[in-house]
Structures are given as C-alpha cells and as structure tokens.
Structure 1
Amino acid sequence: MNRRFFLTLSLVAALVAFFALTLPAQASLDPQLIQYATPTPQPDGRIIYIVKEGDNCISIAALNGIGLEQLYQQNPQLETDCSNLVPGMELLLGIGGPASYTPTPGPSPTPTIAPPTPTPFSGTTAVCILLYDDLDGNATRAETEFGIEGGQVSVTDINGAYTDTKSTVNQLDADAEPIRTCFDDVPEGTYNVSIAVPEGFNPTSEITYRLDVKAGETVMMAFGAQSKTIQAEPETPEPQATGKFPVMGVLGGILLLAGVGMGWYALQMRKPSSKFKGR
C-alpha cells in the first residue's frame, strides 16, 4: 500500500511539474499572435519602416512582403551584409498613395511618346521619367529647370504582373539635357506611375498617374517639385512715393511767397492813411 501511495504521489508531482513548465512557454507565445500592419504612406507617398531592436534585413523584408534585393535596391545606405542596420533607422519599403495629401493645383504630367524606331521591337516598351526642380512652381518645366536627385519613381502594373522602383538623378547628357530615370523592357499594359519627392521638397503636380503603354513605344514623363526654402521675393517700392517731398516743398514755397506778398501789400495800404492824418 505504501508503494502505491508513493507511486500516486510521484505521478501527481510529475503532472504539476509538467504544467508548470508548459504554461509559461505557451503564454510567451501570445505576443507573436499580434497582427502586424504595414506602415501607411507618408504625405509624399513614401512607405517608411522604422528599424526596431532585433530586426535584420531578412526579417524586415519578410515582414513587409518584399524581396531582400528590393529592400537593398531602395535603400542604398545599407551595407551588402546589413551590418550597419541599427534601431531607429528609416528604410524605404516602397511608394504608395498618400494617406492624406492634397496636391498643389497644377496640370497632371502629360506623357509624350517618342517616334517609333524602324527596327523590330520585342513586345515591350520603355518608360522614362524626370523629376525636375520646379523653381517657379508652375508645374511646367522650363529649360533652366533640371533634375532632382534622391527621389523615388515606381512603375507598377495594375494587375500586379510588373513592378519596379528606381531613384531619380540630377545629371545632364551630351546635349545638356536632364537624364531621365528609365524603365526598360516594360510589358504592354496599364500602369500606375508614382513619384516620391526627397526631403526638403514639395510636389507641384500630381504624384501619381495612370499610364497606358503599347509595345514599341518610348514614353517620356515629367513630375515637378519645389524646394521648401524658396520664398517670395520682396516687392520693390513704387518710385512715385519719393516724389511727394519735392511737390510739398514747392507748395510750401508758393504759400510762403503769397504770405509775404500779402503782408507787403497791407503795409503799403496803411502808409497813405497815416500821411492824411498828419495834415
């Protein structure tokens, strides 16, 4: 009987120890069940991820549903081995529609199509985009307005069959024309073209455009942005304001002479009357 009692007691102790070890382990899994929400786009259209403690490039790419190569491509500041990743670093995940943004009134970027080449095409097209420094803010590029470096351009098929993102540059070609950011071998279809301006700029035109492209065409587009530091020039004072002082001086002189004349006349009128009294 003692053996049965000790056997039962040992079994109860084993069960208690088992539940004591497994229940905390299950409770520690609860934070993993919290759903992750992809960051919302900023006003300029960029989707930014803030690096947290324990993150690495592979986990960030997997968490946000993008490829590791795309993460490196959109964040050239990262080392190839992700060794310089630190908490608090901002990483660009992509470009999307802004959560709350009202574009400055201005025309939408109108694409232009280059003349077709006589050589046979491969069934794809090229889309070339320029982000230019809109100095006067009129959303129309002038010859003296050149490219802006550090922006992001995204070309995405509406059905998800194609997507690519590249950075804008501020360089000139042999003809002193701004170099555009080009997407080659783009399949024929309908695309959403989005632009994200760099820090310190405000867009002066629409930042998204739906584009229909046909095979063999080369489409040129331009988006404008203006520096936040540009301020309106002070107005030049009107030149006629300085002319008031000579006019007032002339009028004052005339009144002074008139007063002197009247005084002299009054003096002359009084002289005859004094002589008459003396007689």
Structure 2
Amino acid sequence: MIKKQMRVMGVFFICLLVMIAFIATTGSYPLPQAYYYTPTPQADGRILYTVKANDTCISIALLNGITEDELRNLNNLQGDDCLYLQEGQQLLIGVLEKPTATTEAVQTTLEPTPTPLKGNGTICIYLFNDENGNAMAEETELPLAGGEVSVRDRLSIVNLTGTTDDSDDPICFEDIPEGDYDLSVAIPEGYNPTTVLNYTLNLLPGDVSIVDFGAQPSSSTLPIFGDESPSIFMGLLGVVFIGAGVGLWFYLRKLSK
C-alpha cells in the first residue's frame, strides 16, 4: 500500500513540474498597435467617422486630430451623450471647404501637363500609459511624457525626432513628403512596452496618420527578454525542474523495492 502511494505521489509531482515548465517557457509578445487613416470627405465636404466598439469621445478626437469640445460642438453632443455612443453611429469630425465658384469667363491656354509632384502628409505619434496592458489607448489612460520618438524615411533624407509630454495631444510631424517611414519610440526608464516599439508606415499624400505606442510601469508587467523571444532563463529553470522530478521518481521507486 505504501509503495503504491509513493508511486502515485511521484507521478503527480512529475506532472506538476511539467506544467510549471510549460508555463515558464511561454513567451510574452507585445501586441500590435492600432493604426488609423483619416476618413475621406463626402461629396458635400463633410468628413464622417463611424463609431466602433469601445470608442469614446476622447479616443475619437485623438484619432482625428481635434479636441473633444470640437467633436461635441460639431455633433451637438450634450452632457453625458458621449457615454451613449452606438457602434455604427456616424459622427461629423470636420467639413472640407470648397473653393467659391466664379461665373467670370477666363481665357486659358493649354500647356503641356507637368510631371506630378509628390504630396505631403502628417505623422503623429501618441505614447500612453497602458495601465491595463491591452495595447489600446483608453479614455482613463494618461499620456506618457519623456518618450523619445523618431521618424525616418528609408533614405534618411527625412530624420525627425521629438520628446513626448503629458498633454493629451500626440506629437505630430507635419508637411513631410509621402513615402515609407520607420517609426520608433524609446520609452522612459522604469517602463515596459505593451506594444511594439518600431513600426513601418507608408504615408500617402494628404494622410494624417496617428500611431499609438503603449508602455506601463515595470512593476506592472513581467520582464520581457528581447522583442519577441520567450525567456531563456525560465526555460532553463523548467528543464531543471523536470530533471529534478525524474530523479525523484527513480529515487522513490528504489525506496519502494
């Protein structure tokens, strides 16, 4: 009877060690951040935004480069109306002014079509304190100051840098040429990333592209060893536990004979 109990205990202990090793070797990967294009104006010049799940007035305002008060005024939102936004609801975020038409006849001379020039756009970076670690900027989560941001094109012709502050507005780089850009963020000391810290963006003419980066205090997350690699240390620790369990199993079998 004692031998049987010792064998059962040995099997249970080995299974427990295998489970611990499996959990220890599971990696922690940063989540991709949200990426957003400014909506295209309608035929009448109105720029409309379609409300998505979990959207708030402040998140919609941040995405579209306007203030919450401007969003409220454009849509006549009063009091607690922002608490009752419906998924699929359309909100006005701006109106594109059209040039005034003239009836005066103007004589024009046809000339050869010039080579199209490249257009410009705007890249904005928003670094926020991701308290719950879900890689999404929420209304209750504050901006994170002290982050060093970099925007660089593939040829290093455009190389822009800046430092985030604690204002609600993202740091923006305006009137930069269209093309492919590498965006990177160095988060302040004492924080761990909850999103990737490097992002490649294709900027088109007229785009206002906002990219969110998140981080939270080091005490709130497990340490991340490398950008996308599981913890080597924890993996070795799991192997040690398995070896100890196997050794204990043979020892218990020897005692039971």
> What is the TM-score with the length of structure 2 in the denominator?
0.44
